[in-house]
Amino acid sequence: MNTFGKILTLTTFGESHGPAMGGVLDGMPAGVDIDMERLQRFVDRRRTGQSVGSSTRDESDKVEILSGIWQGKTMGTPVGFVVRNDDARSADYEQLAGCYRPNHADFTWEAKYGIRDPRGGGRASARETVARVVAGGLAIQVLDFLGITVTADVEQVGDSTDHFDEIIASAVSEGDTLGGIIRCIVHGAPAGLGEPVFNKLHAQLAAAMMGIPSVHGFEYGDGFVMATKRGSEVMDVFERREDGTIGTKTNHSGGIQGGISNGEDIVMRIALKPVPTLMRDVPTVDRDGNPLTLHARGRHDVCVLSRALPIVEAMAALVLLDNYLIQKTHVL
Amino acid sequence: MNTFGKILTLTTFGESHGPAMGGVLDGMPAGVDIDMERLQRFVDRRRTGQSVGSSTRDESDKVEILSGIWQGKTMGTPVGFVVRNDDARSADYEQLAGCYRPNHADFTWEAKYGIRDPRGGGRASARETVARVVAGGLAIQVLDFLGITVTADVEQVGDSTDHFDEIIASAVSEGDTLGGIIRCIVHGAPAGLGEPVFNKLHAQLAAAMMGIPSVHGFEYGDGFVMATKRGSEVMDVFERREDGTIGTKTNHSGGIQGGISNGEDIVMRIALKPVPTLMRDVPTVDRDGNPLTLHARGRHDVCVLSRALPIVEAMAALVLLDNYLIQKTHVL
Amino acid sequence: MNTFGKILTLTTFGESHGPAMGGVLDGMPAGVDIDMERLQRFVDRRRTGQSVGSSTRDESDKVEILSGIWQGKTMGTPVGFVVRNDDARSADYEQLAGCYRPNHADFTWEAKYGIRDPRGGGRASARETVARVVAGGLAIQVLDFLGITVTADVEQVGDSTDHFDEIIASAVSEGDTLGGIIRCIVHGAPAGLGEPVFNKLHAQLAAAMMGIPSVHGFEYGDGFVMATKRGSEVMDVFERREDGTIGTKTNHSGGIQGGISNGEDIVMRIALKPVPTLMRDVPTVDRDGNPLTLHARGRHDVCVLSRALPIVEAMAALVLLDNYLIQKTHVL
Amino acid sequence: MNTFGKILTLTTFGESHGPAMGGVLDGMPAGVDIDMERLQRFVDRRRTGQSVGSSTRDESDKVEILSGIWQGKTMGTPVGFVVRNDDARSADYEQLAGCYRPNHADFTWEAKYGIRDPRGGGRASARETVARVVAGGLAIQVLDFLGITVTADVEQVGDSTDHFDEIIASAVSEGDTLGGIIRCIVHGAPAGLGEPVFNKLHAQLAAAMMGIPSVHGFEYGDGFVMATKRGSEVMDVFERREDGTIGTKTNHSGGIQGGISNGEDIVMRIALKPVPTLMRDVPTVDRDGNPLTLHARGRHDVCVLSRALPIVEAMAALVLLDNYLIQKTHVL
């Protein structure tokens, strides 16, 4: 259940305070040039300490490719990779072994497995996403070759659509945390990608985004607002363009109709809840239900929006490339 | 790509104007009592003509079980079933073969397959969902046995949260259509269901709901609103309850933490776009990009919210039961 | 677990004495011509009463296509189909409900599901294979279009490589049964099909064949005999042919090297055990372990080799077409 | 396509002369004790230089666990692991880049991917199996806890059933190679494991074994010999045993009936072709079809039977544990 995708599959592993995070990206088409420096730069965008309000945990996040790429090209074989954990301070987390942090996965994890690694959240840590960013960074390079680009940006932090640094600084000063909204746009995807029934392209994108830690909402095109409109207000009328192709005059549909891309920009919005770890005393209970107070320690983000951008791009890229490859099987 | 689920899998088939819709529900646990009359009543909730603004196409939607249930019990074998299409008037759709209806899948379907069945939208028709409702209706009976219930209701039609019949009547009179928002609640799910990384319980639910025709948005718990709050405002503090169990005082998290159910109600909201077929003249183009006017005919819904309720419940039930079964494999 | 394949998937359902057998063939490429009469002739090859020693159960095995094919062409949508059971005499099987027939699945089925349909073996009946033959018959027509043919023949009945009718007549007279060996050859498959590690082309073929009832052995190329040879004796030396292509002078490898087709004929052999139901009194036990004597009734084959030929061809065709489609995803 | 299994899944990566081989074993049940020294000993059984006729390539094959096991217990999270390649002499293989070795995957690999890593066979090298042995070694420890054991032994080398060292020494002296037959027995598996249609337990075992390099044949129970017998000769009659359980007096069926284990020993035989690399001059062609002579270099096995035993046990263990876990989902 740690595998994502159908033809292009990513399987990840790793706990926050174990020796390494890593993954296997399988199904990459053979013979594609890979720029390793570009990949590392992409992964670095997810690192901490890059912006106000992010954790001070310092990981070099050096990508180590173990297979699948040789002489700068994909070989068609699975790309195995690891990213070492070199700044794990487990002692910070010892008090956490016996209690459940609110809005974290401590309680549910124990309910599921009957056992839990309390060091830095174990596998429930957002550090797990580094493997997705490595894999997505590889997929992005293939998409580039195909003329498809994926771009995410921060649309909203908390209830604010600008002055992000100011609102984050304010939350820091109060020991509080923030969430927000990310918009992601896929440009250049050809019409025809996706599946028409269960695996609609937006259903796959929704699953990909909802699988990112802290995400609580997903919409594409006009999304929730579209539900409040009349049909006549959101109709994307077709037209013949100057180059002879057929497109739509507007894009309320967000580039997808009937679960299949229509050649317009694919537009989606992703809602992230506020970071669950406050820099305040927090009441909770231990395993026996006894009340106790949690004095937050460790190094935590106040707002993860900017760090989440490459994760969103990575997951979108994995979905798009997988569907691009699958589409090759639908017509002889 | 017409299969949904992992251990409990639903595979569907059927075009709107072909002989029948149908499916195979595989992985149903053996030995569970099935009430066929109850199943038929559940499927009937999806039929047309049940409320103001729904299509007048009249299908009996009689469920015919072909395998997997014997003497009123599941046998552990795949449940094959069909629902005949007995009121298909293909002539209504002849004008549609050569043109692309806005906000429909006509254009994208041709881009994908190079060929398209224009009769009633073919497989892109929402009639396809009848197979999901049959399968979900079976899953609901197993969930019942496990003490888990799934309930969806209409929260909003267009921009209105009440007087639904009035607003629908108004849209009908204008030849226009409406969307809206459905809320779905799962009660009684034990803690521990779902997977912590890619296949988070809410990621699976999102994919399930986004796979329903017309759905443009999904959120769980406080959803998009949660993104605007501070961490201190949405903290679900744990407490020991009178019966000795541990639960949360509030449920901003919507019953899921870290992708795994926590035993509270699972709460989600689903946004549906307005029905794409207007009862008005609509401009569009043919395959060569030549402009033409579409005079809508056929029988169409003005608002599908009430008909969508059993579809939402069905998809939620399939996800919950699948995860219930998978959870049995995680601990010896 | 009743689904076979990855991109081209077949999901089947149906019990021997239920209303119908059926299946869903999903992933068929769009736009391929299908000859329905040819399909029915292929399915008829599996029917009983076609040769000495086969059961007298008379099923018309009329294929009813419910979706996915329109105006004689595949539409890219799932092909749903049923074959009605019109000669089910359940009374013949009543004595079997309480006891375990040797070399049948009665005992194991109860161990697995805790419940069992005794009528004609339920889903454990070889009648289940009719759905595979329908699906395989469709795949064969696509393969034909691609220049790939699949042919199976009976190589051995019991310990005899000729005079099959004589040996079968002899077994009939003794109330005994026979097995044998089928050889299957795939001609025209391009080099490059299959996967190099777990899903080797021959591993997929082995699983496909071992999934056919009664099959106890599989080999490809020189098979078990190859294990007794020296490396120098089974070397398939490469040569340049007159048409400029590269091929091998011999074919000990059976058309597959490293799990991937090499363009030579793919050659495999399949061993079937004797039919388990004898026309004799047979000792067994009931559920409590009490000894009893089974007086075989019902209509049973003495030797199924000739009826198994289209099943073998069908399964081989499904594997080949699936791999043909998958191969399209490996290179951009 | 480098993933094996359904609930318990193994995904592997690595090329013979890359930095490391590795894999991810996902779906391991939580809370099981793992003995790392025992695991290493199991992996060491696959190493070279352990017996006459094996390659002199010297790899330490030290297993490095990166995740999923903490404080000696499985955590329910994916077990990531690597085994470094520390004795890769790529220079030995330079002459091979431009030509196709007979009975190797050089030609087919290029046909598939259009590109190939010639160093030590790249991913086509049998070195890839080390990852399977690591994963299988972990599965074996869980099976042990469940009372299930897996044992493989060499039944035949070439055409000889004893004096293996003598026949191997003879082949070495002639620069020739040998294959043979391995028998594998699973003891203690409960009745009820496996699936009755496509994924019969023996079909899964066949795929698992045929996926091992060099394997050309698989049979279970009486296998190919069973095909030559009459039904009356291979009937496994049921009896009530002294402990009150029901079993069979004989085991021609090899512990599986109808694709489901019956509680008897599961018995299978696997045929391996002779090692393809001879220590002789061998004729072949280059990419353009020009004839050339291959002077074998590098370090190669003459007979791999003894090294293959832990691979066979590993693959059998993965299948058995996967099916054990799946069986938990069939009955509530």
Q: What is the 3-state secondary structure (H, E, C) of D261-325?
A: ECCCCEEEEEEECCCCCCCCEEEEEECCCCEEEEECCCCCCCCCHHHHHHHHHHHHHHHHHHHHH
Angstrom distance (rounded) from CA D254 to CA D205: 12
CA distance A224 to chain D (A): 36
Query: Structure tokens of D84?
Result: 């470094």
Angstrom distance (rounded) from CA A215 to CA B221: 11
> Parallel, antiparallel, or unpaired for β D69-70 and D149-157?
unpaired
Question: In chain A, whose CA is at the least distance from the CA of C31?
Answer: A331
Quick one: CA dihedral C280, C281, C284, C285, positive or negative? positive
**Which residue of C145, C325, C332 is in closest CB contact with A329?**
C325
- Helix axes D201-210 and D305-327, enclosed angle (nearest 10): 150
* pLDDT tens, position by position, B173-204: 999 999 999 999 999 999 999 999 999 999 99
Checking if the pLDDT of D49 tops 70, the result is no
Checking if the pLDDT of B113 tops 90, the result is yes
Buried b (16+ CB within 10 A) or exposed e, D240-279: eeeeeebbbeebbbbbbbbbbbbbbebbbbbbbbbbbbbb
**Which residue of C31, C145, C328 is in closest CB contact with A328?**
C328
Angstrom distance (rounded) from CA D169 to CA B32: 62
Q: What pLDDT sits at residue A52?
A: 67
Partner-chain contact D332 B29, CB within 8 Å:
yes
Q: What pLDDT sits at residue B51?
A: 62
Query: Structure tokens of A132?
Result: 């997705």
Query: Structure tokens of A318?
Result: 């994995």
For residue A284, the surrounding DSSP H or E stretch is: strand A281-285
Q: What pLDDT sits at residue C51?
A: 62
Question: In chain C, whose CA is at the least distance from the CA of A329?
Answer: C325
Checking if the pLDDT of B307 tops 70, the result is yes
Phi, psi (deg, nearest 5) at residue B330: -85, -20
* pLDDT tens, position by position, D315-328: 999 999 999 999 99
Instruction: Give me the total of CB pairs closer than 8 Å, taking one residue from chain C and one from chain D.
Output: 374
CA distance A190 to chain D (A): 24
Q: What pLDDT sits at residue C52?
A: 66
D30 contacts in chain B (CB < 8 Å): 330-331
Tell me chain A's radius of gyration from C-alpha atoms: 21
- D119 pLDDT band, cuts 50/70/90, is confident
A146 contacts in chain C (CB < 8 Å): 332
Partner-chain contact B1 A275, CB within 8 Å:
no
Partner-chain contact A29 C145, CB within 8 Å:
no
Q: What pLDDT sits at residue D89?
A: 64
CA distance D67 to chain A (A): 5
* Count of CA atoms in the C-beta half-sphere (13 A) of A146: 24
Angstrom distance (rounded) from CA B22 to CA C22: 11
Partner-chain contact B331 D146, CB within 8 Å:
no
D24 contacts in chain A (CB < 8 Å): 2, 11-13, 22-24
* pLDDT tens, position by position, A196-235: 999 999 999 999 999 999 999 999 999 999 999 999 999 9
C71 CB neighbour count, 10 Å cutoff: 8
**Which residue of D27, D30, D328 is in closest CB contact with B328?**
D328
Q: What pLDDT sits at residue A256?
A: 98
Question: Regarding predicted confidence, which is higher, D54 or C277?
Answer: C277
Q: What pLDDT sits at residue B119?
A: 84
The pLDDT of B256-266, averaged and rounded, is: 98
Give yes or no for a contact between C83 and C64, defined as CB atoms under 8 angstroms apart.
yes
Angstrom distance (rounded) from CA B286 to CA B290: 5
Give SS3 for C218: strand
**Which residue of C142, C146, C329 is in closest CB contact with A325?**
C329
- Side chain identity, residue A247: G
Q: What's the distance, Cα to Cα, between the start and end of chain C in Å? A: 32
**Which residue of D124, D258, D285 is in closest CB contact with C196?**
D124
Angstrom distance (rounded) from CA B20 to CA B62: 11
C146 contacts in chain A (CB < 8 Å): 332
CA distance B71 to chain A (A): 31
CA distance D17 to chain B (A): 32
Partner-chain contact A31 C329, CB within 8 Å:
no
Q: What pLDDT sits at residue D51?
A: 62
Give SS3 for C56: coil
Partner-chain contact B109 A196, CB within 8 Å:
yes
Of D80, C29, D243, D304, whose CA–CA distance to A18 is shortest?
A: D80
Give yes or no for a contact between B11 and B23, defined as CB atoms under 8 angstroms apart.
yes
Q: What pLDDT sits at residue C96?
A: 72
- Side chain identity, residue D212: I
- B47 pLDDT band, cuts 50/70/90, is confident
Partner-chain contact A210 B192, CB within 8 Å:
no
Checking if the pLDDT of B298 tops 90, the result is no
Residues of chain A where predicted confidence (pLDDT) is lower than 70: 49-52, 56-57, 87-95, 298-299
Query: Structure tokens of A131?
Result: 């493997």
Of C210, C213, C193, whose CA–CA distance to C143 is shortest?
A: C193
Tell me the sheet residues that pair with C9: C26
**Lowest mean per-residue pLDDT among D174-178, D187-191, D287-291:** D287-291
Partner-chain contact B329 D328, CB within 8 Å:
yes
Angstrom distance (rounded) from CA D132 to CA D142: 16
CA distance B153 to chain D (A): 29
B114 CB neighbour count, 10 Å cutoff: 15
Distances (CA, A) of D273 to B136, C42, C227, D54: 50, 36, 5, 15
Angstrom distance (rounded) from CA A30 to CA C21: 42
Quick one: CA dihedral D225, D227, D228, D232, positive or negative? positive
Checking if the pLDDT of B50 tops 60, the result is no
In the complex, which subunits touch C with 3 or more CB pairs below 8 angstroms?
Answer: A, B, D
**Lowest mean per-residue pLDDT among B80-84, B115-119, C109-113, C246-250:** B115-119
CA distance C249 to chain A (A): 29
Question: Regarding predicted confidence, which is higher, A54 or D314?
Answer: D314
Partner-chain contact D76 A115, CB within 8 Å:
yes
Partner-chain contact A196 B107, CB within 8 Å:
no
**What letter does residue A279 receive in the DSSP assignment?**
S
Quick one: CA dihedral A316, A318, A320, A326, positive or negative? negative
Q: What's the distance, Cα to Cα, between the start and end of chain D in Å? A: 32
Partner-chain contact A26 D2, CB within 8 Å:
yes
Per-residue pLDDT of chain C (332 residues; tens, 9 = 90+): 999 999 999 999 999 999 999 999 999 999 999 999 999 999 999 987 656 677 766 778 999 999 999 999 999 999 999 999 986 666 666 667 778 999 999 999 999 999 998 888 899 999 999 999 999 999 999 999 999 999 999 999 999 999 999 999 999 999 999 999 999 999 999 999 999 999 999 999 999 999 999 999 999 999 999 999 999 999 999 999 999 999 999 999 999 999 999 999 999 999 999 999 998 999 999 989 999 998 877 667 899 999 999 999 999 999 999 999 999 999 99
Buried b (16+ CB within 10 A) or exposed e, A36-59: eeebeebbebbbbeeeebbbebeb
Of A109, A18, A111, A34, whose CA–CA distance to A69 is shortest?
A: A34
A252 contacts in chain B (CB < 8 Å): 103
- B91 pLDDT band, cuts 50/70/90, is low
Give SS3 for A137: helix
CA distance B175 to chain C (A): 32
* pLDDT tens, position by position, B121-167: 899 999 999 999 999 999 999 999 999 999 999 999 999 999 999 99
